[in-house]
Amino acid sequence: MTNRTAPSTLDLIGNTPLVLLRGPSEAAGCEIWGKCEFANPGASVKDRAALWIVRDAEERGLLQPGGTIVEGTAGNTGIGLALVANARGYRTIIVMPETQSREKMDTLRALGAELVLVPAAPFSNPGHFVHTSRRLADETEGAVWANQFDNTANRKAHIEGTAPELWEQLEGRIDGFTCAAGTGGTLAGVGMGLKAFDPRVTIALTDPHGAALYNYFAHGELRAEGNSVAEGIGQGRITANLEGAPIDTQFRISDEEGIEWVARLLQEEGLCLGLSSGINVAGAVALGRQLGKGSRIATILCDTGFRYLSSLYNPDWLRAKGLPVFPWLAREGA
Ligand code: PMP
């Protein structure tokens, strides 16, 4: 990788490295590449959406110096927004379900965001974190609602950033791309961006259990089955960011499969990742097997595992959720 300098923190967002994942490549019999989004300043893929959303609001004259950004988020978008807001002189109010990781809450507070925790609720409930954030934005003078789910500045970050980066890093030879969807900005944006370079690139949805998109793309019906503890992914509706997403095929991946890849990538390749990354890698292996030997697949390594030390990397938490405990954590005698 080349050395780089940047004129500002915001210029450190994007241009993330791409790493060849040895174990997944061997398992699929093809090349599986992981885009290292944990290398962004806020340690997740959501820094990109945060930057594009803030820039877009500035360009449209919605944000004035000293203004406020309000958002409902599973955490990572809030962290990205708080960083961008600090760098541009805005205040941030973040509404988050209280079920999200402790580390994300602590990080948001450390960054100076005002944190509003709400009980987890279905989207149809007015108390849902997204609706609460919209109301707070309406009630706050000089505030902008980032609205990551339905603000397509989110997916534009991936059409203009992630997709061209992947195309260049893989020197114009990429057979397939897959990832899971939270807002759908990454999946739709990278999908659209790559199809613009080469319409033959296969774009696949990797859906966790408990999400409705697998059935939507497979059978035209928004229906969820099962459950997942993965944070930041699992969508039950077609957000504006997902509208027109060029999805060719889809896979449904269990938490157990995702956790197995998280464990293998950590032990065998020294990568410490969150569960959505493990689920993405499992999806990439499934896509690689479908596209066949010699194909070249890319996926997203969404965020760092350091964000989940009290959950995914905690044997008590895993046991309480009925999930397998990593053998080296079980050894600690917990
Ligand atoms: N993984 C994690 C850990 C996330 O926080 C998010 C964002 N919600 C995603 C994946 C999915 O990204 P997107 O919103 O672009 O679908």
For position 248, which CATH number holds?
3.40.50.1100
pLDDT confidence of 2, banded at 50, 70, 90?
low
In angstroms, the CA 72 to CA 135 distance is 11
Q: Tell me the CA–centroid distance for residue 178 and ligand 1, in Å.
A: 13
195 is catalytic: no
Q: State how far the Cα of 164 lies from the Cα of 67, in Å rounded to an integer.
A: 32
Number of domains in the chain: 2
- Give the three-state DSSP class for 205: strand
* Nearest CA among 269, 270, 266 for reference residue 313: 266
**Whether residue 241 has its Cβ less than 6 Å from ligand 1:** no
Question: Phi and psi of 316, rounded to 5°?
Answer: -65, -45
Per-residue pLDDT of 84-100, as tens digits, reads 999 999 999 999 999 88
pLDDT > 70: percent of the chain = 99
How do residues 172-226 score in pLDDT, each as one tens digit?
A: 999 999 999 999 999 999 999 999 999 999 999 999 999 999 999 999 999 999 9
The pLDDT value recorded for residue 332 is 58
Task: Give yes or no: residues 52 and 138 share one domain.
Answer: yes
- Strand ranges in the chain using DSSP code E only, listed in sequence order: 18-20, 31-36, 68-72, 91-97, 114-118, 143-145, 176-179, 202-208, 249-253, 296-301
* CB of 234 sitting under 6 A from ligand 1: no
Domain holding 73, by residue range, is: 45-145
The atom number, within ligand 1, closest to the CA of 73 reads 8
- Counting from 1 in the atom list of ligand 1, the atom nearest the Cα of 49 is 15
Q: Is residue 155 part of a domain?
A: no
Q: How far apart are the first and last CA of the chain?
A: 40
pLDDT at 1 > cutoff 60: no
> Is residue 76 in contact with ligand 1, taking CB distance under 6 Å?
yes
Q: Work out whether the CA dihedral 222, 228, 231, 233 comes out positive or negative.
A: negative
Residue 326 lies in a domain: no
Taking only the tens place, the pLDDT of each residue in 269-306 is: 999 999 999 999 999 999 999 999 999 999 999 999 99
Q: What's this model's pTM, rounded to 2 decimal places? A: 0.96
Q: What is the pLDDT of residues 55-81, one digit of tens each?
A: 999 999 999 999 999 999 888 999 999
pLDDT for res 331: 73
- Assigned domain for 152 exists: no
Backbone dihedral region for residue 301 (phi beyond 0: left; psi -120 to 50: alpha; all else: beta): beta
Q: Is the pLDDT of residue 333 over 60?
A: no
Pair 167, 284 in one domain: yes
300 closest CA partner among 22, 102, 39, 105? 39
Q: For residue 180, how far is its CA from the centre of ligand 1 (angstroms)?
A: 8
Residues listed for the chain: 334
ipTM of the complex: 0.99
Residue 3 lies in a domain: no
